[in-house]
Amino acid sequence: MEKLLLLGDEAIAQGAIDGGMSGIYAYPGTPSTEIMEFVHGSKIAEELNIHRLWSTNEKTAMESALGMSYAGKRSMVCFKHVGLNVAADAFVNASITGVNGGVIVVSADDPSMHSSQNEQDSRFYAKFTLIPILEPSNQQEAYDMAYYGFELSEMLNVPVMLRITTRLAHSRAGVQRKDMKKQNQLRLPSDPRQFVLLPAIARKNYKKLLGMQPAMEVESEKSPFNQYIDGANKKLGIIAAGLAFNYLMENYDNGKNPNPILKLSQYPLPEKQVAKLYNECDSILVLEDGAPLIEEMLKGFLNLGKPIHGRLDGAVPRDGELNPNIVAKALGMEIHEGQDVPDVVKNRPPSLCQGCGHSDVFLALNEVLLEYGAGRVFSDIGCYTLAALPPYNSINSCVDMGASITMAIGAADAGLVPAVSVIGDSTFTHSGMTGLLDAVNKNSPITVIISDNSTTGMTGGQTSAAHGRIYDICKGIGVDPEHLKILTPLKKNHEENVKILREELSYNGLSVLIPTRECIQTFARRKRSEKGESNE
């Protein structure tokens, strides 16, 4: 078979399709989005009728994947690292239920926060949930791990985490496919109470999970993804996890390493291999993209053993993603950088697109808020978060999906009246609806603006879960129809929109305004595809 040129994300998708996946569940989030998008575009996935609709949020995705596993089939769930927080309840308990069909949980971390509000390391979740992690170092491994991960999951009776970071997710390379596996047949769990986590059953299941740990370690020891590569210079041994292995090898001409290396891509840590490296070398350097998880384990609280270098002692910066230069520095190599960036170069932060409906919303809101003073706009995760930057400078918070409404409630409770929330349509259905019910129940004096661009814009225009139904949902949740209005955010409606905003901000109760206009990007794409022209 000819090699395919695939992003890391796409390699995972192809590996899962070829590995017998029956369904994939996901909510878009950079850098994970392209996994589901690839399955959407895959002819094989269509022919095999692999389930591939976007979920409303990461928790519903995780639960649906677990449901498919209950029914005996193989499922994958994908999200970005902060999505794992949303899915955490289901994720953690899924290690206690165990699986029937194999489950792979792909969590895409974003060290350096290219498109995220933190750089949490998903491996910690897998560690305390006591499940294996697969962490590919390249696109081929990403494919192979998705392909093999279902079997591992079924063999060990737990979900398996496939952890990637932004660079691999969004980097392309040649990938060799394997023969396609058949999907599992519908088959109920042999123990009908396996998934019933009543305390008595959960305690039994948990002991089973603990008892499974040695088997997981055996799998790590014999995993083809972990490799002990010997080297003559035993002054330093190097553990290189996932993508860090590439950055390390980049620094050795012709791929010849002077020091012993443990290439690490499957967890729990293979104790024998780690011990061999530790015993044979005078000191250890740990290279891992993300937080110092392995480094902390090796070092221990009292740090009584051999010197362990990494992020904790400053050999590698404590935060941010790795790159070949950072690794070179940690190895004590000289770096010859090119010229400095000339002073004439200015920052170019992202911004709302020309003609974006959100911008009309913020221009109107800014005008009305002059009457109340600044510091009262709680916003959310999406394109509209860019209104934090000039020329808008409109928003005062962006924390997590849905927090705009609930933080406004709390601020209003504290006396900041009126408080304003700005949230998008997709984020609203993801995690805003429950908060709106809180606001309805206490008639909070807040104005909620659901800026509806009819898509999930920031991640490239995926389906919005309640397209065309936001008004009805708000009405159903119990928002007073007198204070529930749809606006059209266009320049020509500016005065009218300002008037409505002014009225609702002065109302001492809950108002919900829904400015509705299609995302300018999806609009343009739709028009282009209707005309059938493109140069992209």
Partner 1 sequence: MKSDIILGGVGGQGILSIAAAIGLAALKNNLHLKQSEVHGMSQRGGDVQSHLRISSKPIASDLIPKGKADLIISVEPMEGLRYLPFLSNDGWLVTNITPFNNITDYPNIDDIMKQIKAFPNHIAIDADTIAKAAGSSRSSNIVMLGAASPFIDIPYEKLEEGIRQLFGKKGEELVNTNLKALKAGREFTEKNR
421 forms beta bridges with 378, 448
What is the nearest approach in angstroms of partner 1 to the Cβ of residue 350? 4
Show contacts with partner 1 in window 76-115 (CB under 8 A).
114-115
Which one among 51, 172, 276, 502 touches partner 1, defined by CB under 8 A? 172
Stretch that binds partner 1, among 200-208, 247-255, 303-311, 409-417 (CB under 8 A): 247-255
Considering the rule CB under 8 A, would residue 297 count as an interface residue with partner 1? no
Which one among 189, 324, 410, 509 touches partner 1, defined by CB under 8 A? 324
User: Tokens 């639960």 — which residue?
Assistant: 63
Q: Are 214 and 271 in contact (CB under 8 A)?
A: no
Show contacts with partner 1 in window 451-480 (CB under 8 A).
458-460
What is the nearest approach in angstroms of partner 1 to the Cβ of residue 174? 7
Q: Which of 318, 294, 12 is nearest to 140 (CA)?
A: 12
Q: Are 120 and 89 in contact (CB under 8 A)?
A: no
Show contacts with partner 1 in window 15-44 (CB under 8 A).
30-31, 33-34
Which one among 325, 366, 463, 493 touches partner 1, defined by CB under 8 A? 325
What is the nearest approach in angstroms of partner 1 to the Cβ of residue 59? 22
Residue with Cβ nearer partner 1 (218 or 335): 335
Q: What is the DSSP code string of 31-58?
A: TTHHHHHHHHH-HHHHHTT-B-PPPSSH
Task: Write out the E strands in 63-148.
Answer: 74-80, 103-109, 133-134
First to last CA, the chain: 28
Considering the rule CB under 8 A, would residue 190 count as an interface residue with partner 1? no
Considering the rule CB under 8 A, would residue 198 count as an interface residue with partner 1? no
Residue with Cβ nearer partner 1 (250 or 438): 250
Which one among 171, 257, 366, 463 touches partner 1, defined by CB under 8 A? 171
76 forms beta bridges with 24, 104
Residue 302's φ and ψ, nearest 5 degrees, are -90, -10
Q: Are 161 and 125 in contact (CB under 8 A)?
A: yes
Considering the rule CB under 8 A, would residue 253 count as an interface residue with partner 1? no
Considering the rule CB under 8 A, would residue 512 count as an interface residue with partner 1? no
Residue 484's φ and ψ, nearest 5 degrees, are -125, 110
Six-digit token pair at 510?
């809950």
Considering the rule CB under 8 A, would residue 383 count as an interface residue with partner 1? yes
Considering the rule CB under 8 A, would residue 536 count as an interface residue with partner 1? yes
Considering the rule CB under 8 A, would residue 346 count as an interface residue with partner 1? yes
Sheet holding 308-309, edge to edge: 227-229, 261-264, 236-241, 283-287, 308-309
Six-digit token pair at 353?
């697109």
Residues that bind partner 1 (CB under 8 A): 3, 5, 7, 30-31, 33-34, 114-115, 167-168, 170-174, 243, 246-251, 255, 323-325, 328, 335-342, 344-353, 383, 386, 390-391, 458-460, 533-536
